[in-house]
């Protein structure tokens, strides 16, 4: 079974994932939690991390079944076929939801903007990308290549090393 990405109707990601689950398809929508301020109140809002996408784990026999779920538009395509999402990329998305970094202390490498770097510790271990910005906490860009989407993650410098 492979992970694939679906384009879905705007603002319907969670409902589409629920409908797909009811059809027996494993569906995943990475979510983020934000504090929103209105003039009269504050509220925590849970919304999709990547708007318009639902990830599904299915076999080839289930490929057409996803279109029975209202709100599914089409599969994300890459190189004239369905984009295949690596298990590692789904793991990264799930880790972003939980935001739990495990950091081991060690000598800090000096990285500059534009340097290629590899994450050495924590839930993103093994992922590599480009340092986008350097400040108190390095801002590290991870490219999810199979869907052509970039995510920017705030990471402490202790987890990064220059890529070899």
Classify residue 40 by its DSSP letter: S
Q: How far is CA 35 from the centre of its chain?
A: 20
Topology (CATH) of 87-164: SH3 type barrels. (2.30.30)
pLDDT given at position 5: 96
Q: How far is CA 98 from the centre of its chain?
A: 12
pLDDT at 134 over 90: no
Query: How many helices (H) and strands (E) in the chain?
Result: 2, 14
* Residues in a beta bridge with 77: 82
Q: Which CATH architecture has domain 2-85?
A: 2-Layer Sandwich (3.30)
Mean pLDDT of 112-129: 76
Structure-model confidence comparison of residues 52 and 117, the more confident one? 52
Q: Is the pTM of this model over 0.75?
A: no
User: At CA 115, angle to CA 99 and CA 77, rounded to 5?
Assistant: 65
CATH 3.30.70.940 domain locations along the chain:
2-85
Q: Which residue, among 79, 98, 82, 85, has the nearest Cα to 30 in the 3D structure?
A: 98
CATH 2.30.30.30 domain locations along the chain:
87-164
């Amino acid at each position: 079974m492979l992970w694939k990405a679906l384009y879905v109707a705007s603002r319907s990601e969670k409902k589409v994932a629920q409908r797909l689950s009811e059809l027996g398809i494993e569906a995943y929508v990475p979510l983020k939690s934000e504090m929103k301020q209105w003039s009269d109140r504050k509220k925590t809002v849970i919304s999709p991390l990547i708007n318009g996408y639902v990830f599904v784990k299915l076999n080839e026999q289930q490929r057409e079944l996803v279109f029975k779920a209202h709100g599914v538009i089409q599969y994300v395509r890459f190189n004239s076929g369905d984009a295949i999402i690596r298990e590692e990329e789904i793991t990264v998305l799930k880790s972003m939801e939980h935001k739990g970094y495990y950091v081991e202390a060690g000598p800090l490498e000096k990285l500059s903007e534009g340097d290629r770097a590899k994450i050495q510790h924590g839930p993103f271990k093994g992922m590599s990308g480009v340092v986008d910005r350097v400040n108190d906490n390095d801002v590290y860009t991870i490219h999810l290549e199979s869907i052509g989407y970039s995510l920017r993650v705030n990471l402490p410098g202790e987890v990064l090393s220059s890529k070899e």
